[in-house]
Structure 1
Amino acid sequence: MTDTPARLLNLLSLLQTPREWPGSELAERLEVSARTIRRDIDRLRDLGYPVEASRGAVGGYRLVAGTAMPPLLLDDEEAVAIAVGLRAGAGHAIDGVEEASVRALAKLEQVLPSRLRRRVSTLQAATVPLLVRGDAASVDPRTLTAIAAAITGTERLRFGYRAGDGTRTKRQVEPYRLVSTARRWYLVAYDLGREDWRTFRLDRVGEPFPTGARFTPRELPTGDAAKFLSSSMSRAQPRIELDVSFAAPAEFVAARLPPSLGVPEPTGPDSCRLRAISADSLEWVALRLALVDCEFTVRRPALLIEHIAELGGRLTRAAGDGEALGT
């Protein structure tokens, strides 16, 4: 193999297999001399790949962890597996899966051959995820990657948007950042039609289309997308002052409450009390309290007490109707 770049790529592909390669075996695989292998190893080191050599009769070369992340070479199966995994994680707002994972997916899908892209889409279409969190909102990974690419390329974006009341509008924006919360993905962008900054829930975004028009990024008022989203959500949703007592240990309750609702304080070995301020809806808070799976008493607010009483009545009537029908 006389083509040096092709040989280096083949050598790197072999070294990325987690094993130690004797120099003689590498030379035989690549059909070159041991001296050429040594020169190629030095070239890889110059490019930032940490190749370690061991001496002796059974010595050889292996790729080890370095101080930086060099480019990786993936075969077809590895590329498909990573793309499917990133799509599965990116499609739902999961703790720890943030914008970096979406950027990685956008980069990978950009260079995937069409045959592999079809395999990834086919695998995902045949897979049904089990959502262990009923309040998580599903997002099409293609929406995430299209928006991530537009952000990276500072390219204006068009899309359809459905508001909370069902109203549908067409938007043209300058996308700024994607923000992942524990339950949802959001886009922070400058809305050209409204001439102001806006946040958009990605599960309500449809058919994002990069326009090809470049823009110079504007300065976000808060300087931080997460802070802007937090303040925007606070303005949009009335805050609820919670005071709830639970007939269970604080550790038990804390493990079953989302972090956004705060941490209960122990009031005894088998009781605790939650005092917190929430920007979530009454319906969502009521559901999360019921899912703690223990007796609890809502002290305030009065609106939450009324909502839980109404909900409890509906559930009791539903159970009674089922019993009357013999089901």
Structure 2
Amino acid sequence: MSDGSDRVFHADGELVPADEATVSVEDRGFQYGDAAFETLRAYGGEVFGWDAHADRLDETCDLLAIDHGLPREDLHDRILATLDANGLDDAYVRLSISRGVQPGKLDPDPEVDPTVVVVVKPLPRGGLAGEPVWDGPATLRTVATQRIPDAAVPARAKTHNYLNGILARLELRGTDADEALMLDSAGHVAEGATSNVFAVDADGLLTPALSGPVLPGITRATVLDIAAEEDIPVREGTFGPETLRSAEEVFCTNSTWEVRPVESVDGATVGGGPVTELLAQRYRERVEDAYY
């Protein structure tokens, strides 16, 4: 399955070959980005943090008023069926739910016939015997594209309209950076285009507070839980990019990267370190104990 030509996706209740999986051009997810999604990671044939992902998906659908009527057990079964059909134990998983096909107007109808799609791609084994999906530490660069304020589009809503992050990543073209560091309208660090951000200093861990336009990442929450177990002090607050540039360590988190050390921020060398390594190790141990 190296080229993905024989992969199978789950589209609207059926397992279909990837090259036959289609969505209507009139689907509101295509026309307006009117859809919710979750990016998940499978280890050993099971989904990491399914309940937390399902809770966040529920919240996004509630915010979008997409009353899809599908039990989370049904959605979970579709993911497992897709993994099984592809013979994958370790994989990237994307679950999308759109409002479906409706008349071509901006205001949606309350009645929903949702479009549900599950896409999977192979990833390396996780856990203690695994290897990271990234080639090396991340390089962050602060971009001019600001994170959309919560009053405009709630950050906790994970929707198909990802233009904000796309514009941020476009600013990295021609640079050596591989993750965009996005600020809020007040100049405070919000998050990466596809990741949450942490700093390590003499007082412990520091990460942007969820009171700002910050996605409540599932991996972020897991790292905070591990930090509490290890008695590592944690502050959630507001700070500028200069705090990251002068930090002892910086790392990013998301479902596929897990804990990824950061090599530099805006050209200032930061590098990993013992705290990042400890958290990454404990994360891998959790995965190993739960799924292998």
TM range (shorter): under 0.3
Quick one: higher RCO (CA 8 Å, sep 6+), 1 or 2? 2
> Per residue, is there more helix in 1 or in 2?
1
* Structure richer in strand, relative to its length: 2
Q: Which has the larger radius of gyration?
A: 1
**What is the TM-score of this pair, normalised by structure 1?**
0.24
